[in-house]
Amino acid sequence: MAPATSAGKALAGFLLSGFLFALLGAVLPAWGYHRDPPEFITIGNCFLSLAVGVIAAHQLSAVILARKSLRFLLVFACALGCAGLLSLALATPPAHWLWRMPGLAVLGLSVGLLNAGLFQAIAASYSREPVRAVALGGIYYVLGCLAVTLLVAGTFYAYTVPIILILMALGPGLFAWLYARTPVPEIAAVAHANFRQVLRDFRSLGAVLFALLLFFQFGNEWSIAGWLPLFLVRRLGMSPPASLGMLALFWLALLVGRVAAVAILPRVRHSRLLAGSVLAALFGCLLLALTNNQFGAGTGVLLLGAGFASIYPLVAGKIGGRFPYYHPVFFSGIFSFALFGGLIAPATLGYAAAMWGIGIVVAIPLLGTCMVSALLLLIWLESKVTGR
């Protein structure tokens, strides 16, 4: 099989990654967490368990790649995803929430291992065109997020949650079969950054600023992705399927924005596109926080999705230009800190909502978007001073 075809199948694997990682935000209403009394701390624990699995995947992926092939890593990650979904099907409410924690941790482990393997598999494409490779991977990723949301919304009243999860388990099973038959490099193309590189990063103001920017941006995106349906049900009184439709609208706006970004990146100044994206996201957060009707919520969701769409591909490309060793394999030096924001933000929101109410779900991304704006300004000033 040609290398281009192999890289194309690797990129398509991000569809499965998005499908698995966005599942929790879509399935929470189906598990009944939108009802009274609110179980915000339990929801936070669910997201925390998922995050622990993704973080643990870093060390495990390094061990696997040191002893096994990249193909083994991809097949193993897909098999874990299948096992995690089947475990969650058995632990659906009214089972105690603790029974769902192992399944969510396995699901997170699957996503972390899969992402590590996929980024290794597209290393050659990334080295040639980093912004395009990240954007294309992001398009597939958002397609997976959209697919899982539509699947849960469309079957909300038609099937039980265990049946839905069992049907979903067919997805990672199919990808395991696909990667078992796909030629991929036998060894990892990119090594994890070592501890000395991480220490050097912390002495670089530019690296710290970029890492903080990604930290807040990932936190913003996954706060909305994880909590939007519950927020709309409890704040506006929407039905669970309608709230999932709004989440699907968010993913659709993000998808269209990513496709548009790939098309216009060569023609538009990146600084202007970044500034416009941040302003759109900021206005979307404000609208979502202040609205009391579905039209306002839909408009806010559209602006959020469109605003978030191009930020990560652009920032990742700029990081690659400034720091040549950087590669978006999980835990690339200091930039591993960035992904932690996306992992821990939905869990933190659960604990914050238990103290201050569901309105904090939009307040936190609003503050995070303000931080992104400030960090972009600081990065621009730093680049002017250093001449980079």
Give the confidence band of 11 by pLDDT, cuts at 50, 70, 90: confident
Average pLDDT for 2-13:
62
Q: How much is the pLDDT for 330?
A: 41
* Region label for 238, one of left (φ > 0), alpha (ψ between -120 and 50) or beta (otherwise): beta
Q: How much is the pLDDT for 273?
A: 81
Where are the alpha helices (H) located in 28-129, listed in sequence order? 40-67, 70-90, 100-121, 123-128
Give the confidence band of 2 by pLDDT, cuts at 50, 70, 90: very low
Q: How much is the pLDDT for 180?
A: 87
Q: How far apart are CA 89 and CA 87, in angstroms?
A: 5
| Tokens coding 86 | 């089947």
Q: Are 359 and 235 in contact (CB under 8 A)?
A: yes
Q: What is the pLDDT of residues 130-148, one digit of tens each?
A: 667 777 778 898 999 999 9
Average pLDDT for 261-282:
80
Average pLDDT for 278-290:
90
b/e code 209-231 from CB counts within 10 Å (16+ = b):
bbbbbbbbbbbbbbbbbbbbbbb
Q: How much is the pLDDT for 298?
A: 94
Q: What is the pLDDT of residues 232-243, one digit of tens each?
A: 999 998 999 999
Q: Are 146 and 251 in contact (CB under 8 A)?
A: yes
Place of tokens 């070592």: 194
Give the confidence band of 170 by pLDDT, cuts at 50, 70, 90: very high
- Tell me which fold the domain 3-386 belongs to: Growth Hormone; Chain: A; (1.20.1250)
Mean pLDDT of the chain: 83
Q: What percent of the chain has pLDDT over 70?
A: 82
Angle made by CA atoms 355, 221, 379, in degrees to the nearest 5 = 105
Q: How much is the pLDDT for 200?
A: 62
Average pLDDT for 222-232:
93
Question: For residues 344 and 330, which has the higher predicted lDDT (pLDDT)?
Answer: 344
Lowest mean pLDDT among 132-146, 258-272, 360-374: 258-272
Question: For residues 10 and 213, which has the higher predicted lDDT (pLDDT)?
Answer: 213
Average pLDDT for 154-172:
92
Lowest mean pLDDT among 106-120, 156-170, 254-268, 366-380: 254-268
Q: How much is the pLDDT for 226?
A: 93
Where are the alpha helices (H) located in 161-204, listed in sequence order? 161-168, 170-180, 195-202
Sequence ranges of the domains in the chain: 3-386
| Tokens coding 382 | 């730093």
Lowest mean pLDDT among 12-26, 62-76, 116-130, 360-374: 116-130
Burial bucket for residue 37 (CB in 10 Å: 0-12, 13-18, 19+): exposed
Give the confidence band of 65 by pLDDT, cuts at 50, 70, 90: confident
